[in-house]
Amino acid sequence: MTATASTASGRPRRESVRRTLRDAWRSRRVWWFTATARTRARFARTTLGSFWLGLSNLFSIAVLAAVYGTVFKVQNFTVYVVYLGLGLVVWNTIGAAVSGAPNLFEHNRDHLHNINLHPMFYTLEEWAFQLQTFLQSFLMVLLALSFFQHNLLINLLLWGWLPLLNLFLFLYWFPMLTCLLGARFRDLYQLVPIVLQLVFLLSPILYDKKNLGAMAWTANINPLYRILSPIRHTLMAGEVQWGVGLVLLAANALGIWIAIRLLNSERRNIPFLI
C-alpha cells in the first residue's frame, strides 16, 4: 500500500509535515513569483512604485514622533525617533499579516474550489507577499533612521539575522493558525482587528516599557511584542539577546509544525468552510 492509499478504516492517510515542507520547497519559485506579481500590480501605473511602502511608514514615524515625543516629553528625541520608527515598521508588518489572515482562504475561494492545489500554497504566497512588503519598507526606513543613529545598518548586518529570522518564521505560522481558525469561526473576522488595536496600545512601541508601570507584565506575555522587541534591541544596542532569540526560534519551529499539521488535517474540510 502506498503513502497515498487509504487505511484499513477507509480514511486517507494524513500527509506528513516533512513531506508538506518538501513539496513547499519544490514549488518555491511559483509562490514567490505570484507574490512578486501581486507586489508589482499593487503599484502599477504609479510614479514612485514600491517606494510608497517606505514613504508611508516614514510619514507616520515623523508625525507620531513629533506628537508623542511632545506628549511624553522625551529627553532624547534622536533616540526616541529610532525607537519609535523601528517598532512601528515591524508592528505594521505583523499587524498586516495577522489582520489579513482570517479571510485568506475566502479570498482564494474560487481556486480552492476548482484547483487541486494544496492550501499551503496560498499561505506561502501570502507570506512571501508580506516579506517582500516588509523588506522594501524596512530597508528604506532603516536608511532614513541611520541619520539619527549611524550604526543601524552595521548592527543589522552583524547581529540582525537571528531576530529577523524569528520574525519571518512567526509571520508564517501565526497568521496561518489565525487563518485556519477564521475558516471555522467567522467571528474572528471582526475580533482580530479589535484585538490588534488593543495589543498595539498595550505594547511599548510608542512609549518605553517602564512607562507601563505595574502593567509591564503585559509586555512579557505579549507574543507580538516578544517578536518585535529583540529586533529593535539588537539594531539599537548592537547585541543579540541569545537566550531570548533561541527560545523564540524553538517556539517558532514548534509553531510551524503545529500549524502545518493542523493545515493537513483540515485540508479536505477547507473548501466546505468557505
User: Looking at the domain assignment, is residue 142 inside a domain?
Assistant: yes
User: Looking at the domain assignment, is residue 210 inside a domain?
Assistant: yes
User: Looking at the domain assignment, is residue 135 inside a domain?
Assistant: yes
User: Looking at the domain assignment, is residue 89 inside a domain?
Assistant: yes
Alpha-carbon torsion (59, 60, 63, 69), positive or negative: negative
User: Looking at the domain assignment, is residue 11 inside a domain?
Assistant: no
pLDDT digits over 45-77, tens only? 777 667 778 788 889 999 999 998 888 888 899
Q: Which grid cell is 250?
A: 524553538
The pLDDT assigned to 13 comes to 57
Q: What is the pTM of this model?
A: 0.90
Q: Tell me the backbone φ, ψ of residue 104, rounded to 5 degrees.
A: -60, -50
Q: Tell me which residue range forms the domain holding 43.
A: 21-273
The pLDDT assigned to 14 comes to 62
Residue 258: band (very low, low, confident or very high) from pLDDT cuts 50, 70, 90 = very high
pLDDT digits over 152-179, tens only? 999 999 999 999 999 999 999 999 999 9
User: Looking at the domain assignment, is residue 155 inside a domain?
Assistant: yes
Residue 185: band (very low, low, confident or very high) from pLDDT cuts 50, 70, 90 = confident
The pLDDT assigned to 63 comes to 92
Number of domains in the chain: 1
Distance separating alpha carbons of residues 9 and 144, to the nearest angstrom? 61
Query: What is the average pLDDT score of the chain?
Result: 88
The pLDDT assigned to 155 comes to 95
User: Looking at the domain assignment, is residue 14 inside a domain?
Assistant: no
User: Looking at the domain assignment, is residue 107 inside a domain?
Assistant: yes
The pLDDT assigned to 45 comes to 76
pLDDT digits over 86-144, tens only? 999 999 999 999 998 988 988 888 888 888 888 999 999 999 999 999 998 999 999 99
Does the pLDDT value for residue 243 go beyond 80? yes
pLDDT digits over 15-56, tens only? 788 999 999 999 999 999 999 998 888 877 777 667 778 788
